[in-house]
Every structure is written in structure tokens, then in C-alpha cells.
Amino acid sequence: MRPSPAETPSAVSGVVAPKIISRGVTKVFPSVDGPITALEDFNLDVAEGEFVAVVGPSGCGKSTYLRILADLDRHTSGQVEIRPGNDPAKPLNNVVFQEYAIFPWKTVIDNVAFGLEMRGVSKRERLATAAGWLDRVGLRKFANYYPHQISGGMKQRVSIARALANDPEVLLMDEPLGALDAQTRAVLQEELLRIWEETRKTVVYITHSIEEAVLLGDKVVLMTAHPGRNKAVFEIDIPRPRTLKTTSTQAFSEIKMAIWEMLEEEVTQAMEMQA
């Protein structure tokens, strides 16, 4: 008889702590109209190597949560932690935002190498690493171009390559494809799938697109309308590797519809609050 998982040595000795812990996270912003609670008692644990997509109506606190995770802002109460890895030189996180946050005065390859430069990696090594990432995102020929000479989709590839070249413990993405046209977005979704399947990075990925969340994520976390709380979690058990063709399967449509049914009332509520 095979031992049950609880009896295997790895399960006994290796209770692995989550890579990201967020428990009871609350954020209150002061404002002239009084305090604004952007996040309320929000909980999310992410395992090492897991891709978690976060979906919720506009204004529900997604970016606030990501900024807290990235240590760009402080939470008011609760616990937020990214567990460090074995290599202290590695950054805990890197963020890719919707706006192409790349330096206009640096070439494509120097943008990708920027984080490594900040960490004191030798020029030779950082350019080699950056060139490898440019290859992986299909920008090899554009290494010496400046940002104004490339398209929006290419700029976002630069941002993604720059974050990954840095090899952070976790990758945080806030609507990284949100500003792109539908076709470019589809191409980048496939690229992200391929890259993630190679790297198995721990990722928190914010998107407005349920389709994108289901395509990319191991889990889709739903947030309520403002203030952002936990609404539901969907485990996406659609096998990998996934491609855009996955979106036309019945399993995919069913999960997408189930998520939309839950999200719809939150979106309606958010729209009523903004009206």
C-alpha cells in the first residue's frame, strides 16, 4: 500500500511556509473627506512557484495591495511578508506596472540590465544576462534602440525582461498588459505563459480580464468592491502547458463564467458607488 501523503517523510518534515504571507491586511488612507479604507482584512498566501491572479472591480484596492507587497507603501494593520530565499543578493520583489516604467535615456539592453547594474553586477555579466532575456522576449535586434523607437508592446516586453533579469524572489505585476491592443496583448499572454513555465517564478498578477486571469493563473483570487476584501478563490486546474487555444475549451469557458457570475455583483456595486 502506498503511504498517504501525511505519512511520507517529505510531507512530515517539509511543511513549506508560503512564499508570500498576507493576513488581515488593512489600509486606510487619510483624505480631506475623512479616512478611506482601501483594503479591509485582506488575506492571501502564495506558495513558492505559484502564479496567483487577482481580479476585482475598479477601485477595490488591487494596486494598493500590490504596492504594500512591493514595500512601496505601508499597510495600516495586518501582516505582510515575502519569505527571503537562500541568496541574499536577490531582490525580494520586482514590479511591472501598466505604464511602461522604463528609462527613456537608456537603450533597451541598458534598461534590462539596470537592476543588475544597481546590484553591482559586472558590465560583462549584466549585458550577457540582459541579452539572454532580450532573446527570450524576442527583442534581440532592438537591444540598442531607445524606448521612443519601439512600440508599446515592445516597451512592456522590456519592462518584463528587466524585472526577470533581476531574478527577484517574487514578481509582482499590476495590469502589465492593460495598455496594449488586443492582438499585442494576446501575443504577450502567450509569451508570459511560456516564460513562466520555464522559470516557475512566484507571481502575483493583477488584471481586469477574467480571461487573462484564468489563462495565466494557478489560482484566481476575487476581491469585493471597495473596500477590498476577500470574495472567493478559484483553483484553476486546467492543465499546462496552456496556450491561447486553451481559451476555446469548455473547461475554460465554464471557469470563466463561474468567476464572472461572482464578480458581476461587485462590479455593479463599484459602478453604483462611483455614480
Ligand X SMILES: Nc1ncnc2c1ncn2[C@@H]1O[C@H](COP(=O)(O)OP(=O)(O)OP(=O)(O)O)[C@@H](O)[C@H]1O
Helix (H, G, I), strand (E, B) or coil at 236: coil
Q: Answer yes or no whether residue 43 interacts with Mg ion by CB under 5 A.
A: no
Stretch that binds Mg ion, among 45-53, 54-62, 214-222, 240-248 (CB under 5 A): 54-62
Number of residues that bind Mg ion (CB under 5 A): 2
**Run of H or E including 86:** none
Cis, peptide link before residue 104, omega less than 30° from 0: no
Q: Answer yes or no whether residue 103 interacts with ligand X by CB under 6 A.
A: no
- Strands (DSSP E) along 33-169, which ranges? 36-46, 51-55, 77-82, 93-96
Interface residue with Mg ion among 63, 184, 199, 246 (CB under 5 A) is 63
* Chosen from Mg ion, ligand X, none, partner binding at 229 (C-beta under 5 to 8 Å by type): none
**Cβ at position 39, least distance to Mg ion in Å:** 12
**Cβ at position 174, least distance to Mg ion in Å:** 6
Mask 61-100, x = binds ligand X (CB under 6 A)? xxxx------------------------------------
- As given in the structure block, the three cell numbers for residue 197 are 513555465
Cell 501523503 belongs to: 5
Q: Answer yes or no whether residue 213 interacts with ligand X by CB under 6 A.
A: no
For residue 52, CA distances in Å to 14, 124, 126 come to 22, 35, 29
Cell 486553451 belongs to: 246
- As given in the structure block, the three cell numbers for residue 146 are 531607445
Interface residue with ligand X among 10, 31, 183, 250 (CB under 6 A) is 31
Q: Which residues bind ligand X (CB under 6 A)?
A: 29, 31, 36, 38, 56, 58-64, 226
